[in-house]
Every structure is written in C-alpha cells, then in structure tokens.
C-alpha cells in the first residue's frame, strides 16, 4: 500500500465526522485534500446535504469549488462544527506542528473557530517530541524581516527563509515564512509559542497546541483514531 493510498484512507475516515447541516473547515495539504474530495462526493451522492465550508487556503478554495462544496466565510459562520486538516508532526498529547504547506495562519484562525478539530496523517508524522523531524514555521511580515530573524535566533532557533522557485515564498496573506529548527526538538512548546508570538514582526507560528480533538492515522495494518483526553 503506497503513501497516497494511506492518505486517501485517512481522508475518507475523517470525512465521516461531517454531518448534514454543518458548517465546516477544510484544511490544506495532501492528506486533507482527500477529505475535501470525499465530502464533495458525499454531497453529490446525496449522503450529505446543507454543508457549507470555510477553506484554509486559496488552493483548498479552488479544490472545494471543483468538488462542488458550497463555500462560506467566518463572518457568516463564526463557529465551525468540524475542521479536517493535516499536520507535519503530532506528539503523544496531540499537539502539532503545521505550516510546511505554507497555510499556517489561516489554518490556525479556522482551528480556533472550530469545535472539533480532526487531524489526518500517516504514521511518519507521529513523533515523541515536537521539532525532531520538522521545523517550526513562523510567518513574519516582510518589513524588517531580517531583524525578526535575528530575534528568532535568540530563542535558540536556526531560522531559514523559505524559498520557492529561487524566490522567497509568499503566503496567501502576503507574508514570509521562516522555518525555525531547534536542535533536539522542543522541550516546552507552550513557552516557545508565547515567546515567538511576542516578537514584533511575527504574525503567527506553526505550533498548534491543545487544539486537536482527534487524529486519524492510516497505516498498512488499518486506520486508527486517537482521541484527545
């Protein structure tokens, strides 16, 4: 079973959390994509109805429109019943690192507005400590970003400006991303998140702490769900 098939299984399992009449959030990334496609299919089959969705990126918005999912906004639906999204790392407490896809700001805004945040991953995303496989993405404004990078270094990070096609990567909101590597991982994610967000120029960071209701994991031996305690 290849990795794409595992992602599809996780996305389909997560789509089962969506019920008719819900306002939901649609996450970004390769695994969440399968959930979006499945929700669109269930709507076309008539097994779901009266579902509206808030996308977390321009990419997901285009995918949802193509799949036939009616879209809405947080202004129209400030509380969402369910959001299905992916993650770059998941620790045993279901804390996350997100943002390698570049959409962490909108994803966190939508997650904050969500009653039940469902994360879909394959087993490679499970870690004992956050920051051991993935950097912490930090979205920063372009003005004075070098000063912001210097301040991030004072937190113990090795910040790397994210590039794409030989140019700085620009988020949907027009910002830069500095990927912050911490040797040995993160000993205190809560304290680090607060410290990062206190730096002028930082818009948001990719630590999603205490926001996850359940993680759907697809593995060759079968799909399993870990619920938050």
59 as an active site residue: the answer is no
Q: What is the pLDDT of residue 1?
A: 67
Considering the entire predicted model, what is its pTM? 0.95
Domain spans in the chain, listed from the N-terminal domain onward: 3-125+209-227, 136-204
- Read off the pLDDT of residues 87-120 as tens digits, 9 standing for 90 and up: 999 999 999 999 999 999 999 999 999 999 999 9
Residues near 53 by beta carbon (within 8 Å), at least 6 away in sequence: 23, 24, 25, 26, 39, 64, 69, 70, 71, 72
Q: Of the listed 61, 89, 107, 139, which one is catalytic?
A: 107
Q: For residues 160 and 153, what is the distance between their CA atoms, to the nearest angstrom?
A: 10
Residue 79 has pLDDT above 70, yes or no: yes
Q: Tell me how far CA of residue 138 lies from CA of 66, 85, 91, 123, 135, in angstroms.
A: 30, 18, 19, 24, 9
**What is the assigned CATH class of domain 136-204?**
alpha beta
Q: Which CATH number fits domain 3-125+209-227: 3.40.50.300, 3.40.50.2020, 3.40.50.1360, 3.30.470.20?
A: 3.40.50.1360
């Amino acid at each position: 079973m290849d990795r794409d098939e595992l992602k599809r299984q996780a996305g389909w399992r997560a789509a089962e959390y969506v019920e008719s009449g819900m306002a939901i959030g649609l996450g970004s990334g390769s695994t969440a994509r399968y959930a979006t496609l499945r929700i669109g299919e269930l709507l076309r089959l008539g097994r779901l109805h009266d579902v509206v969705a808030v996308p977390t990126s321009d990419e997901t918005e285009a995918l949802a429109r193509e799949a036939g999912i009616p879209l809405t906004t947080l202004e129209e639906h400030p509380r969402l019943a369910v959001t299905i999204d992916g993650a770059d790392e998941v620790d045993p407490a279901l804390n996350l690192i997100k943002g390698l896809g570049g959409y962490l700001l909108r994803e966190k805004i939508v997650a904050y507005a969500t009653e039940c945040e469902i994360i879909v991953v394959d087993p490679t995303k499970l870690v004992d400590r956050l920051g051991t496989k993935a950097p912490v993405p930090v979205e920063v404004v372009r003005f004075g970003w070098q000063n912001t990078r210097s301040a991030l270094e004072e937190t113990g990070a090795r910040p790397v400006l994210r590039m794409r096609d030989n140019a700085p990567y620009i988020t949907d909101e027009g910002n830069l991303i500095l990927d912050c590597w911490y040797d040995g991982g993160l000993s205190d994610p809560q304290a680090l998140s607060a410290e990062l967000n206190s730096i002028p120029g930082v818009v948001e960071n990719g630590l999603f702490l205490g926001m996850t209701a359940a993680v759907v994991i697809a593995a060759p031996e079968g799909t399993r769900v870990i619920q938050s305690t």
